[in-house]
Amino acid sequence: MAVDETLLQAAIDHHECAVRWYRWSVPTISLGYFQSLAACHADATWTSLPIVRRLSGGGAILHDQELTYSCVLAAEHPFARTPSGLYALIHEVLISALVERGIPVAVRGQTSPELNTAFLCFGRGDAQDVVLAGFKVLGSAQRRRKGAVLQHGSLVLEKSPLTPQFPGVFDLAPPRFDLDEFQIETAAKIAACLDLQWQSAALRPDELMFARSRAAQHVFPGLTG
C-alpha cells in the first residue's frame, strides 16, 4: 500500500503513470480509508493479522489467496478525468483475460445497496464488481489526489480459510492458469489501452525511501505486522 502511495506521488511530482500487480507474503487486512479500527476489532478473526490502511475507500479486504493490482495515472491523462471510464477499462481487460482462460466472469451490472454496509469488501455489491456464479471475485476502488488517480483492486483466486464464504476463480471455474503470465499480459494490455509506453521498472532510491517512510504510517501501531 505504501508503494501504491509512492506511485501516486510520482504521478503528481513527475507526471508518471504505472501499472502494477503484487501479492502479500502473509494474510493481511486492508481497511478502507474511512473504516474504523474498532470495526476491525469487533471480530476476533482479524485482530491477530497485520492490519493496514488503504488510501482508497470501501470495505476491508483480506489479502490472502488473491492478486492485487494498482494503476496510477497523472492528472493530465484523459482517464484521470473519467473515474468510471478507468474502472470499466481495467475491468474489461481483466474480464477478457479471464474469459480467454475459460473463466466466465462478467460485470455485476447493478448495485445492491443493502449489502454496502458489510465490513468486508467482498460482502458488498457494486454495479462494477466482476462476478462469477453469483460471487464477487474482483472489486476495485480509487483515490484522487491533486488530479492524479490511483485505482487498485483485488482478484480472489481461492477461498481463504479465514473467509470460506468468498470463493475465488479457481474454486468456481477449476481450470488454473499461470499467474506470472496473466500478470505480465494484463499489465501490458492495460498500459496499451491507456496509450502508455510500457516498460518494466523498479522504484528509484528516493521512491523506495519514501515508501519505507510511509509504510510505518499504513500499519496500525501495536498490531502484528
**Active site residues per annotation:** 121
* 3-state SS class at 22: strand
All three cell numbers of 22, joined, read: 503484487
What is the widest separation between alpha-carbon atoms in the chain? 46
Q: What is the 3-state secondary structure (H, E, C) of 51-119?
A: EEECCCCCCEEEECCEEEEEEEECCCCHHHHCHHHHHHHHHHHHHHHHHHCCCCCEECCCCCHHHCCCC
Of 102, 104, 103, 67, nearest to 187 (Cα)? 67
Per the document, the length of the chain is: 225
Indicate the pairing of strand 28-31 with strand 51-53.
parallel
How far, in Å, CA of 58 to CA of 117, rounded? 9
Q: Contact, 65 vs 168, CB < 8 A?
A: yes
